Amino acid sequence: MAEIRSMNAGELDQLIRWAGDEGWGPGLNDAECFWELDPEGFLAMYEHGDLIGGGAIIRHSNAFGFMGLFIVGQAHRGKGLGKKLWFA
């Protein structure tokens, strides 16, 4: 069963690598800027102690936010884990 919790900076680096591998082309400094803005706005999904996915829900202000960078590692796709992550 997958566990969802707050993400740390190293886990964010892994998500950025996965996104790059998928050809998403995240901005060079986007992750750092979002992390500085709202470090609690990132979720990590783990299964059996391994990072298998994550995403960002960043609060810019009380009136504006951003959701994105939701990705599940290739080996764990097609199991409904992305949907679980999205709704978390």
What is the predicted pLDDT for the residue at 44? 96
Q: Could you tell me if 13 and 19 are in contact, meaning their C-beta atoms sit under 8 angstroms apart? A: no
- Measured CA to CA, the distance from residue 40 to residue 30 in angstroms comes to 16
Query: 51: closest CA among 1, 9, 16, 15?
Result: 15
Q: Specify the CATH superfamily of domain 3-87.
A: Gcn5-related N-acetyltransferase (GNAT) (3.40.630.30)
pLDDT above 80 (res 25): no
pLDDT at 37: 87
| Predicted local distance difference test score (pLDDT) of residue 49 | 92
pLDDT in tens, 53-81: 999 999 888 899 989 889 999 999 999 99
Tokens of 73: 């590692």
For residue 79, the model assigns a pLDDT of 92
